Amino acid sequence: MKFSVLKSPIYTSLLLLRKMMLKTHSFPLRVYIEDTDAEGMVYYANYLKFAERARTECLRSIGINHAEMIKKDGLMFVVRSCHLNCLASGRLDDVLEIKTHFKKVGGVKVEVSQSITREARVIATLEVVLACINSASKPVRLDANLANKLKTYFGEI
């Protein structure tokens, strides 16, 4: 009986896991009292702020800095649409993990999926569409360098 490592389920699973890890950025965040409502739960709008921070740090980790992008190229990302699905509540002093995955990059828009977890349980998901605009607030195609950085990190998307 012949056995091929390349065809084994373990090897295939490891490849899939590696691919997923390359395509997902993780950002830890602690919940402070300023993030909560009167019940001590994360106020829903703060999930949007948490997701924004995670996207910013994700981009920064691959060499894309918002301030430099605006100053040097006159370009910026704005949220075109956002869908937030709250499944459970974060609470004061929880450590949350925000995972960011860039699903699609092309033209003027970027599609992003994000999940917020507490102790490995998903408590919120977001689907965000970003648009690239210039200093006159007009939509512009993504700079080739910018698109390549995203595609290199997240794979061909």
* Nearest residue to 114 via CA among 133, 96, 91: 96
Sign of the alpha-carbon torsion through 112, 106, 75, 146: positive
Find the catalytic residue in 37, 73, 93, 94: 37
94 counts as catalytic: no
Q: Which residues of 106-119 are buried (b: 16+ CB within 10 A; e: fewer)?
A: eeebbbbebbbbbe
Contact 112, 55 (CB under 8 A): yes
**Which residues are part of the catalytic machinery?**
37
